Structures are given as structure tokens and as C-alpha cells.
Structure 1
Amino acid sequence: MTDEVRLEIKDFVAYVTIDRPAVLNAVDGPTTDRLNQIWATIEASSEVRCVVLTGAGDRAFCVGADMSQKAIDKTGLEYWSQLDPNGFGGLSLRTTLDVPIIARVNGYAVGGGMEMVLGCDIVIAADTAKFGLTEPRVGRLPLDGGMVLLQRKIPHNAAMGLLLTGKRVPASELYRLGLVNEVVPAIELDDAVQRWVDDVLACSPSSVRAIKQLATRTAQLSAREARDARLPAVMAALDSEDSKEGVLAFQNKRAPVWTGR
């Protein structure tokens, strides 16, 4: 059976590709199961320092739930009662993945696809990409993170304008609103993603894990409470070999050699 989600780990980077181009990388039940397996594998790995998530082909990142599947015959209440606690694709609401996730948006990112984008930390998009939480246009709701995340990431009225119309917008619009970090011509997308990967890998992996863990797990706290939270990754980073190596490298005017310890 063809693996419809590919995982490749190379040079400290996990490349996750939803490989269902015939349905514009829509996600069905088995695809969700596979994605959850992949996120768990990455969480357990001490090697992975960055993740790049994308869709196969050049038409779509992910268009959300596979509407061709029988599962779509469930009522809204049945679907709601069976939601993945980690959100769409096991990612949009996931709080346990402490390495940076870069969304490589190569085409349509709508419905659950946009919810997966909302679960990423850095978003690089081709200038041909389109985004939208289109569920209201088919009588559904963006239950897997869209309704609760979008207004936390962009201005309220801009978020409601997208949520209440279900319209699709170009990458340039979400760049203006701050949800997309960089928009490039499609032919330059891989180069742009690589620049961001290189910048992440230039940082101490201990520091990066601590920063993401703190940002992800303390959003409900005041700034002072968040600062004082003694989270595992923060405490590990403060007492890490990396914290000593970074200072030594700076003093010796050389590039640091990170171990992640």
C-alpha cells in the first residue's frame, strides 16, 4: 500500500509531505492516523531540529477533509464528538511538538489545510497559494482549530472577515496580516524554505525547543507568569552544553557546534 504521507529525516530536518495529489492532498482517516504517527515519531526524536510540512505537487498544500470519503456522511455532531484532540491532521492544536514547524505552502491551503498552517510556526508561501477557512460554504464549521486560532493570530476584524465569508485569499493578503512570513514566486519556494531552515539550524536546538515550548504552553498566562514557568525544555536549556558552547564560540570568533545537549 502506498504511503500517502512521506517522512524523510535528513540533516536534522524532518520533511513531511502529504502525498495525495489526485485529491489535492485532502486528508482522510488513514491519512490522519499516519500524520499522528509521524508527529509522535518526531516528538520522540532527539535528532530532529526542524520540520518542513508540505503537500505533493504544485496545486495544493492541503484542501482539508477528503469530501469524497464516506466519513463525510456523518452529521456535524457526530464529527464534533470524534474530533482529534490534536486538531486537524493531528497538528493544528498540538502542544507537545517542541521543534519549529515550517509550512511550505505550494498551492491551496483551505479548510483543514489552513488549520494545519495555523498549527505551524513559520509559513512560507508561493505567490500562487490561496488560503481560506471555507467550511461555512459547505455548511460545516472550522472545528479543528480554525475558529479558535485565527483570531488569536491576526487582528479580530480581519479574522472574522475570513471566518464569516469562507472566502479564499491570496498569500499576499495573509502576509500583510502577519500570518505568512514570506511570499515568493513558486519557482523560488524551495530556496526560501531552505533559508529559513538554515536560520533555525544556526540556533542552539536547546534554545529553540525551550522557546517554542514556552510560547506554546503558556499562552493562557500573564507575561510574568509565563516568564517564571519552570518548563522542562527551559530548565534543560539553561543548564545545557549548548549554552556554554554558544558563549565560547562567540568569544573565540567561530561558529558554534551544537549538540542539542
Structure 2
Amino acid sequence: MSATLEEATVEERVDQITLTIENGVATVVIDRQHVLNAVDGTAHARLNGIWDQLEQDESVRAVVITGAGTRAFCVGADMSASAVDKTGLEYWAGLDPNGFGGLSLRTTLDVPVIAKVNGYALGGGMEIVLGADIVVAAETAKFGLTEPRVGRLALDGGIHQLVRRVPYTQAMGMLLTGRTADAAEMQAMGLVNEVVSAKELDAAVQRWVDQILACAPTSVRAVKQMVTQTSHLTATEARGLRLPALMAALDSEDSAEGVRAFQEKRRPEWPGR
């Protein structure tokens, strides 16, 4: 399923995961409130399918992912599901290359992802946050890679992503203790962009979405692709890489429209190509 910018709203709900596409913005909601939005195998497969779908839908310009209710964003793997009966080695052998929820290690989604953290983001839920580009959190949200406290490891992107996103000692302080941290502390570490009250969370996320939509779609896609595809290179090496989204942006109608709008002192009307 896909939607164009002209379509008002498209909604699809499968396996307790809701996907809504409205005016170029996709919203993904994990709605398993009976287990604090923990993800089982079926929900994980559904999330993976959503990201695959959104990769192919060029009408989507931003994605917001959140959890249903007020208590939890996502508390990771559903510990009540049969998957936890696997040994550690069996679990490691079956890891998804895209990471937890199909997102935490994904490098092929060229659309900005905003994590709207409304409550607990623990274990795999924290890994989903680490797979997002922008993080907006309610002041009551809690974050943590708590796997060591149940004899597990944050193998789906948590360990390797956290040490790349925040200072080493701050990352290790969480990884080696399995402790949780509140939104203000995570903002101080640099992982969270904005912390607001729970009642202001929707408005805060919308402000970020609006700022993304104010930019040329081709430029935004190019920026994200350049970042995700070149993190292993030096800045000089990265600059010389002729990535598809970069070349498309340089030769786009958006590029021409941006210049015209600036010269005519008006807001650009992005063709998106």
C-alpha cells in the first residue's frame, strides 16, 4: 500500500501495528499495550514489512514511530513469547540484519524517522530509538538497555549503536549496569533532541515534522542517504561518493524551484523530484 500527497489519509492495521499515511507523513504505532508494547515475532515481521514498504513510497517524506497508550514506547522483545525459549546462541544466529523492529540497524530507508517516545523505551525499544534520526521524548520517558539484568545482550543494535551515538563513558555506564535513564539525562548525553511534557508531545513532534516538510524532499533524502551510507568513510572519501539520492537531488526540479522561490521571495512549492 502507498499513498500520494493528495490522498488525505490511508490507514492499515495488521498484527497490532498501525500504519497511517497522511499528507506525506507516515505514522507507525506499536499497539500491544497488554505487554507494554513489547514486540513478538509476528509484530517484528510486520514492522520489517512496513519499512520495506515505505522505502518504495516516494510520497512519504517523514515517518513518526511511537507506542500506543501513555505507559510505554516499547519495552523490547516480548518475554512472554516462545522466542525467549531459544538459547543465547540460537537467538544470535537468527538476528535480523535490519536490527530490532527492522529499524535499529537499517541503512536503506532514506526518509527521516522521528521517535516519539511517550513512555518506557527499554531493550529493543531503546534499539528502535537508536535507529531513529530525531528523538522527541516526554519528560516521563525512561530509556535503557536492560538486557544484562535478565542474562541477555542488546545484540540488535543496542550495544554497537549506543557507543556511536553518545560519549563512551556515558554509553558504558548504561551498558555495563543495565540501568535506566530519564529523558532529561538522555538529552544531556545527546541522544534526545527535545524533552517536553506528555501533553505537549504531539505538538513538539509536529513542529519537527513541519520543519522537515519545509525542506526539499530530494535534499532530505540525499542527506539521509549520504549519512547512512558513508559513516564508515572519512569526510573526504564520503564527499566523493556519487550516491543515487545525491545525484538525483543535484539534478532535481526541487533544486531549481528552491532558487526560484528564493529569488521571488516566496515559499517554495516542492515538486518532490
The correspondence for 1:86, drawn from 94, 98, 105, is 98
> Equivalent residue for 1:256?
268
Using the size of structure 2 for normalisation, the TM-score is 0.95
Q: CA deviation at 1:260?
A: 1.2
How far apart in 2 are the matches of 1:72 and 1:7?
27
Structure 1 unaligned residues grouped into runs of 5+: none
Structure 2 unaligned residues grouped into runs of 5+: 1-12
> Equivalent residue for 2:180?
168
Pairing 1:35–2:47 present: yes
> Equivalent residue for 1:116?
128
Pairing 1:184–2:196 present: yes
> What does 1:25-174 correspond to in 2, within 5 Å?
25-174=37-186
The correspondence for 1:24, drawn from 12, 16, 36, is 36
Contact 2:64 2:115 in 1 (8 A): yes
> Equivalent residue for 2:5?
none
Supply the AA of the counterpart residue of 1:243.
Answer: S
How far apart in 1 are the matches of 2:137 and 2:257?
34
> Equivalent residue for 2:4?
none
Q: CA deviation at 1:115?
A: 0.3
Residue identity (%) = 68
The number of equivalent residue pairs is 261
Q: CA deviation at 1:258?
A: 0.7
**SS state of the match for residue 16, structure 1?**
strand
Supply the AA of the counterpart residue of 1:117.
Answer: V
How far apart in 2 are the matches of 1:247 and 1:240?
12
How far apart in 2 are the matches of 1:141 and 1:36?
21
Q: CA deviation at 1:2?
A: 5.8
> Equivalent residue for 1:11?
23
**SS state of the match for residue 90, structure 2?**
helix
> Equivalent residue for 1:225?
237
Supply the AA of the counterpart residue of 1:21.
Answer: Q
Supply the AA of the counterpart residue of 2:52.
Answer: A
> Equivalent residue for 1:242?
254
**1:116-136 Cα shifts (integer Å, max 9, x gaps):** 000000000000000000000
RMSD (Å) for aligned C-alpha atoms: 0.8
Runs of 4+ more than 4 Å apart: none
**SS state of the match for residue 213, structure 1?**
helix
